[in-house]
């Protein structure tokens, strides 16, 4: 595999040097020096922009997140700021108060049970390899990919998450995405283009799909269709950490079950906000401001404000975020 080739190369390198392995990776850009990641894991992330850790979240915790999700779907709990999304293929008239009507929850930072995911010590231990010790949870999602209706709307177009973020630097941001059940090609696992994290932020917009596209599901405008793809098949509790420039998406769910995953984007608490005027992010800036105005009747709120407002410190000190 690519992982073991990288490890072999590293072992070979180490064998020809009289310095400790830490010195070899001290020039790395995408990860930080600490004692958690093995040299081959760091090298893998540096080269590929993602790192899969097996069996990181307990089945017991996942069951609690699932139960909380179901309570939210049944409207037994009201969560301030929570955004409940439905698939475009489901007509408004078909409202049913259970998970069949919900394709995604966003911004669950005010739900103590779901937010516990973002504070799990074993997740933060990995997160700090990328962010350093001061950590903000910036963006939270529980994705409930529905069985596809045949219109292929359950797909998630290929994209870079940095498109949504008006903060930098990119390499101090990381996503943790945990499978809440076995995810595979049949139910629409994540698909990544390894190594694309070393590129720049590309232009994103709504893809021209015949069956319709979900709200805010922008896709990357041009990427190399011949770039090698990796389908991240994962077991329940497995967690992938990935860089916000890594091009990724997910396929249709061809099963009758709902494919669930829970995720959090973390940023170093000493990241800084940027002005996206004149950049490829102007379209998302505009769309987010319009939604904020409509939904919360908030005039004059900036794209950056919407992030500063949702972000929560999960470790260390809140510095500039
Ligand atoms: O869980 C998935 O299917 C993909 C989610 C994703 O990439 C996103 O929401 O940004």
Query: What are 90-123's pLDDT values in tens digits?
Result: 656 566 777 777 899 999 999 999 999 999 999 9
* Dist. CA 217 → ligand 1 center (Å): 9
Contacts of 276 (CB under 8 A, 6+ apart): 166, 282, 284, 285, 303
Beta strands in the chain (DSSP E): 50-53, 83-85, 104-106, 135-145, 156-159, 167-168, 173-179, 190-192, 204-205, 219-220, 230-232, 239-242, 248-250, 259-268, 272-273, 312-315
CATH dotted code for 49-315: 2.60.120.620
Tell whether the model's pLDDT for residue 285 goes beyond 60.
yes
Ligand 1 atom nearest residue 248's Cα: 7
250 CB less than 6 Å from ligand 1? yes
pLDDT at 23: 47
Ligand 1 atom nearest residue 141's Cα: 9
- Choose one of 87, 145, 190 to mutate for the ligand 1 pocket test, by most ligand atoms within 8 angstroms of C-beta: 190
Cα distances (angstroms) measured from residue 43 to each of 30, 56, 197: 10, 20, 14
pLDDT at 281: 93
| Selection from 7-11, 151-155, 227-231 with the highest mean pLDDT | 227-231
Mean pLDDT across the stretch 154-175? 94
| Selection from 206-215, 264-273, 282-291 with the highest mean pLDDT | 264-273
Q: CA-to-CA distance for 68 and 289, rounded, in angstroms?
A: 29
Domain with CATH 2.60.120.620 in the chain: 49-315
Q: CA-to-CA distance for 173 and 183, rounded, in angstroms?
A: 24
pLDDT grade for 252, boundaries at 50, 70 and 90: very high
* Dist. CA 10 → ligand 1 center (Å): 32
- Choose one of 50, 177, 186 to mutate for the ligand 1 pocket test, by most ligand atoms within 8 angstroms of C-beta: 177
Q: CA-to-CA distance for 44 and 51, rounded, in angstroms?
A: 7
Q: CA-to-CA distance for 221 and 19, rounded, in angstroms?
A: 44
Q: Are 56 and 122 in contact (CB under 8 A)?
A: yes
List pLDDT tens digits, range 132-148: 999 999 999 999 999 98
143 CB less than 6 Å from ligand 1? yes
pLDDT grade for 249, boundaries at 50, 70 and 90: very high
Ligand 1 atom nearest residue 104's Cα: 9
Q: Are 249 and 159 in contact (CB under 8 A)?
A: yes
Residue 36: CB atoms within 10 Å: 12
Q: Are 133 and 124 in contact (CB under 8 A)?
A: no
Beta strands in 55-131 (DSSP E): 83-85, 104-106
Q: CA-to-CA distance for 276 and 283, rounded, in angstroms?
A: 10
Tell whether the model's pLDDT for residue 88 goes beyond 80.
no
The residue ranking higher by pLDDT, 164 or 208, is 164
Tell whether the model's pLDDT for residue 265 goes beyond 80.
yes
The residue ranking higher by pLDDT, 262 or 212, is 262
261 CB less than 6 Å from ligand 1? yes
* Dist. CA 249 → ligand 1 center (Å): 6
pLDDT grade for 153, boundaries at 50, 70 and 90: confident
Q: CA-to-CA distance for 286 and 216, rounded, in angstroms?
A: 12
SS3 72: helix
- What are 194's two structure tokens? 């390894």
Q: pTM score, two decimals? A: 0.89
Upstream peptide bond of 74 is cis (omega within 30 degrees of 0):
no
pLDDT at 90: 67
pLDDT at 212: 73
* Dist. CA 301 → ligand 1 center (Å): 26
Ligand 1 atom nearest residue 161's Cα: 10
Tell whether the model's pLDDT for residue 85 goes beyond 80.
yes
């Amino acid at each position: 595999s690519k992982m073991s080739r990288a490890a072999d190369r590293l072992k070979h390198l180490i064998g020809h040097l009289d310095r400790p392995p830490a010195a070899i990776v001290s020039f790395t850009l995408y990860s930080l020096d600490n004692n958690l990641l093995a040299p081959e894991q760091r090298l893998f992330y540096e080269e590929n922009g993602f790192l899969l850790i097996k069996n990181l979240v307990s089945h017991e915790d996942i069951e609690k997140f699932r139960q909380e999700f179901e309570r939210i779907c049944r409207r037994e709990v009201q969560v301030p700021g929570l955004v409940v999304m439905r698939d475009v293929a489901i007509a408004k008239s078909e409202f049913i108060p259970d998970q069949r009507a919900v394709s995604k929850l966003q911004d669950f930072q005010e739900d103590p049970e779901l937010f516990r995911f973002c504070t799990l010590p074993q997740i933060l231990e990995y997160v700090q390899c990328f962010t350093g010790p001061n950590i903000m949870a910036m963006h939270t999602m529980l994705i409930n990919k529905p069985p596809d209706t045949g219109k292929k709307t359950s797909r998630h177009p290929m994209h870079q998450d940095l498109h949504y973020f008006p903060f930098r630097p990119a390499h101090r941001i990381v996503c943790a995405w945990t499978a809440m059940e076995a995810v595979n090609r049949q139910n629409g696992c994540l698909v990544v283009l390894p190594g694309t994290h070393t590129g720049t932020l590309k232009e994103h917009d709504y893809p021209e799909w015949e069956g319709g596209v979900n709200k805010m599901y922008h896709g990357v405008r041009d990427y190399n269709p011949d770039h090698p793809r990796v389908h991240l098949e994962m077991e329940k509790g497995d967690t992938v950490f990935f860089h916000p420039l890594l091009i990724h998406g997910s396929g249709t769910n061809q099963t009758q079950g709902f494919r669930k995953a829970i995720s959090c984007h973390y940023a170093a608490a000493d990241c800084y906000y940027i002005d996206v005027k004149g950049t490829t992010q102007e379209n998302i800036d505009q769309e987010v401001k319009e939604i904020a105005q409509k939904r919360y009747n908030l005039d004059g709120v900036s794209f950056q404000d919407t992030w500063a407002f949702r972000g929560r410190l999960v470790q260390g000190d809140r510095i500039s975020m």
